[in-house]
Chain A
Amino acid sequence: MKNFTRRDFIKLVGSAAAVSAVGFPAIAAAGGKKKVVVIGGGSGGATAAKYILRADPSIEVTLIEPNKHYYTCFFSNEVIGGDRKLDSLKFSYDGLSRRGVKVVHDTATGIDAAARKVTISSGQSFSYDRCIVAPGISFRDDIKGYDMAAAETMPHAWKAGAQTSLLRSQLEAMPDGGMVLIAAPPNPFRCPPGPYERACQMAYYLKNHKPKSKILILDKKDKFSKQGLFTQAWERHYPGMIEWVKASDTNGGVTRVDAKAGTVSTEFDTHKPAVTNIIPAQKAGEIAITAGLTNESGWCPIDGKTFESTIHKGIHVIGDAAIQAPLPKSGYAANSEAKVAAAAVVDLVNGREPGEPSWVNTCYSIVAPNDGISVAMVYNLVDGKIAKVKGAGGLTPADSSPGDRQREYEYAHSWFNNVTQDIFG
């Protein structure tokens, strides 16, 4: 008994309480480190890994992420507009390593939910008490002719990095008077205001360098996030430059591309743009599908309180891959969900019932230098479901002053600095 610490005592008592309170046949027991494996090192996964150790440094946390660096999708539209360098979006995992997260740069290839084991492409496997899956998105084949090869000439730029640079360089190379076409995806998708902020950032560049050019957005939706505010901003800064075509006007938006010929087609017409940005329809990231965590929607159903999969116990899915509505698929929401899931995982591995969750989200969009708009919301749990807090949140007012929007622009950049520190610092 000489090594029987106070912590062990708490674990034992806690786990005993948990059997009755939670009804989960935990685990616990004194001795043996609790293990959590986190798959995916984006906003959700990296935050979760960090916050688990913040709450309980005794847990062994392994983060599995193929890339040595992460490029944030948020603010990558400023790279396309030219006001930001791609390197400013680049973050390493050194901060997490220093905190004690075991970072493994490899791809997770399978999760055995029954054996509680994650396998990576090298063949190595990691056992866990709880697993957090944060793989982001993958693309659906909803546009004929659009594949990985086509993405080399018609970038999606919906995962930041080389794709972002490619789209930027295509804008720089195009002639004045050319047309840029954005194919916007159907709901639900990563970063709902993203395509429309992107149109702003592209127009900002074109207005100053190629003012005869036009931007055509062919949407797969009939309405979009912050639509009134974006429409105002397009008029305010880029009158006549941006045309948005709703899905019902083309019977569903872009259906086909020919990457070699450089053409983009709807059911009704074919375009030959100077620059084509195809943002395909989306589903959960690959490992979530491989591990059987998705349902017929292509996304992962979860319990609102803990983000534990309702398909496989012991696995929590956070970020874009989860069915988290009314929370949006945003980097900030993923960060917020990660904190809720991390707290729940720490409670569960220690045999405690998870506490009440709380979430927040603010999505800023930079419509021009010194001009920012936002949508914000606070969320809580009502009858076991994630809900918007009544009376809270909402949009930048339509009659906001330039001074207000100057401040939102500054707060947007402050958010970038703070949330990236929160995720990777």
Chain B
Amino acid sequence: MLRIQTYTLALGGCLLLGSTQLAAAPSATMLADTCAGCHGVDGVSMGPATPNIAGISEIYFTDSMAAFKSGDRYSTVMQRIAKGYTDEEIKLMASFFAKQPVPKTVQRTDPAKVALGERLHKDNCHKCHDEDGALADDDAGILASQWLSYLNHSMEDFKSGRREMTKKMKKKVDKLTDEEISALNHFYSSRLSSGSGL
């Protein structure tokens, strides 16, 4: 941990001290800015498929990147990208995105699905995905206002087993039909948004 503490101190002090001691790692902003091409400026994605990463918890970010690096989490391009960053660099990026507000997106969602999804959310998911999926606590990803296509892909991966679920999530998801999962995805992607509805 010594290295990280030194680094944090140096970040705070670099304006006054000069920054020759920083040669080891790029700044959090420099690293996070490399994500913008696909995940949007400050992690606010314009969609339709790459997820928002603004506001996600540090744990969720570092766990996800570690799982991409090891190949435990399925992806198309993220496994290839994640391998480009050290664990220290990933921590810096995680701290950057955790500080950003949860974005609001405007998406077309089906009101009937949203209504069904809301009931299913209350019955099954709200304990871990609190505030309609907007609370980024611990290892829960941000679901509220997340891009629908991303939620669909994620649930497809969970269902097919190529992305691991926690035991408590698996117990719930295994009981849900494809229609119900689709309804949940519509519900979450409609949250925070002022412009939902077909």
Answer yes or no: are A and B bound together in one complex: yes
Contact (Cβ within 8 A) A421 B40: yes
Query: In the complex, A20 Cα to B38 Cα: how many Å?
Result: 39
Cβ-defined partner of B38 (8 Å) among A17, A51, A340, A414: A414
Proximity string of chain B (133-152) to chain A, C-beta cutoff 8 Å, 1 when within and 0 when not: 00000000000000001000
Q: Which of A352-381 contact B (CB under 8 A)?
A: 352-353, 355-360, 362, 374, 376-380
Binds B, one of A207-215, A221-229, A241-249, A387-395: A387-395
Does A91 lie at the interface of the complex (its beta carbon under 8 Å from any beta carbon of B)?
no
Q: Which of B53-87 contact A (CB under 8 A)?
A: 76-77, 80-81, 83-85
Cβ-defined partner of A415 (8 Å) among B26, B50, B83: B50
Binds B, one of A80-88, A254-262, A319-327, A402-410: A402-410
Residues of chain B contacted by A380 (CB below 8 angstroms): 26, 84
Does B12 lie at the interface of the complex (its beta carbon under 8 Å from any beta carbon of A)?
no
Contact (Cβ within 8 A) B38 A415: yes
Residues of chain B contacted by A268 (CB below 8 angstroms): none
B40 to chain A, nearest CB (A): 5
A25 to chain B, nearest CB (A): 16
Contact (Cβ within 8 A) A356 B30: yes
Contact (Cβ within 8 A) B26 A357: yes
Does B16 lie at the interface of the complex (its beta carbon under 8 Å from any beta carbon of A)?
yes
How many A residues, CB 8 Å from partner? Answer: 51
Does B27 lie at the interface of the complex (its beta carbon under 8 Å from any beta carbon of A)?
yes
Does B20 lie at the interface of the complex (its beta carbon under 8 Å from any beta carbon of A)?
yes
Contact (Cβ within 8 A) A414 B77: no
Does A418 lie at the interface of the complex (its beta carbon under 8 Å from any beta carbon of B)?
yes
Residues of chain A contacted by B89 (CB below 8 angstroms): 358
Query: In the complex, A51 Cα to B30 Cα: how many Å?
Result: 11
Does A110 lie at the interface of the complex (its beta carbon under 8 Å from any beta carbon of B)?
no
CB-nearest residue of chain A to B84: A378
Contact (Cβ within 8 A) B18 A14: yes
Does B198 lie at the interface of the complex (its beta carbon under 8 Å from any beta carbon of A)?
no
Query: In the complex, A55 Cα to B80 Cα: how many Å?
Result: 29
Cβ-defined partner of B34 (8 Å) among A21, A336, A414: A336
Cβ-defined partner of B30 (8 Å) among A20, A343, A362, A393: A343
Does A267 lie at the interface of the complex (its beta carbon under 8 Å from any beta carbon of B)?
no
Proximity string of chain B (19-42) to chain A, C-beta cutoff 8 Å, 1 when within and 0 when not: 110111111011101111111110
Contact (Cβ within 8 A) A376 B41: no
Query: In the complex, A103 Cα to B84 Cα: how many Å?
Result: 36
Residues of chain A contacted by B83 (CB below 8 angstroms): 378, 389, 391-393
Does A335 lie at the interface of the complex (its beta carbon under 8 Å from any beta carbon of B)?
yes
Beyond A339-B30, A352-B14, is A392–B80 a contact (Cβ under 8 Å)?
yes
CB-nearest residue of chain A to B45: A418
Cβ-defined partner of A418 (8 Å) among B20, B30, B40, B80: B40
Q: Which of A20, A352, A392, A396 has the most CB of B within 10 A?
A: A392
Does B9 lie at the interface of the complex (its beta carbon under 8 Å from any beta carbon of A)?
no
Contact (Cβ within 8 A) B30 A374: no
Contact (Cβ within 8 A) B50 A418: yes
Residues of chain B contacted by A360 (CB below 8 angstroms): 34-35, 37, 81, 84
A42 to chain B, nearest CB (A): 15
Query: In the complex, A376 Cα to B84 Cα: how many Å?
Result: 10
Contact (Cβ within 8 A) B84 A377: yes
Query: In the complex, A410 Cα to B45 Cα: how many Å?
Result: 13
Q: Which of A332, A377, A407, A414 has the most CB of B within 10 A?
A: A414
Residues of chain B contacted by A394 (CB below 8 angstroms): 80
Does A66 lie at the interface of the complex (its beta carbon under 8 Å from any beta carbon of B)?
no
Proximity string of chain B (112-146) to chain A, C-beta cutoff 8 Å, 1 when within and 0 when not: 00000000000000000000000000000000000
A406 to chain B, nearest CB (A): 10
B41 to chain A, nearest CB (A): 5
Q: Which of B93-114 contact A (CB under 8 A)?
A: none
Residues of chain B contacted by A378 (CB below 8 angstroms): 34, 81, 83-85
Contact (Cβ within 8 A) B81 A332: no
Does A13 lie at the interface of the complex (its beta carbon under 8 Å from any beta carbon of B)?
yes
Does B153 lie at the interface of the complex (its beta carbon under 8 Å from any beta carbon of A)?
yes
CB-nearest residue of chain B to A409: B49
Query: In the complex, A109 Cα to B76 Cα: how many Å?
Result: 45
Residues of chain A contacted by B35 (CB below 8 angstroms): 360
User: Please, could you name 21 A-B residue pairs with CB atoms under 8 Å apart, sorted by A?
Assistant: A14-B16, A18-B18, A55-B29, A339-B30, A343-B30, A352-B15, A352-B19, A353-B19, A355-B26, A356-B26, A358-B34, A359-B34, A392-B80, A392-B83, A393-B81, A393-B84, A408-B76, A415-B50, A417-B47, A418-B38, A418-B46
Q: Apart from A14-B18, A414-B46, A414-B50, what are 18 other A-B pairs with CB-CB below 8 Å? A: A353-B20, A356-B22, A356-B23, A362-B37, A374-B76, A378-B84, A378-B85, A389-B84, A393-B81, A393-B83, A400-B76, A408-B77, A410-B48, A411-B49, A413-B48, A414-B49, A418-B41, A422-B41
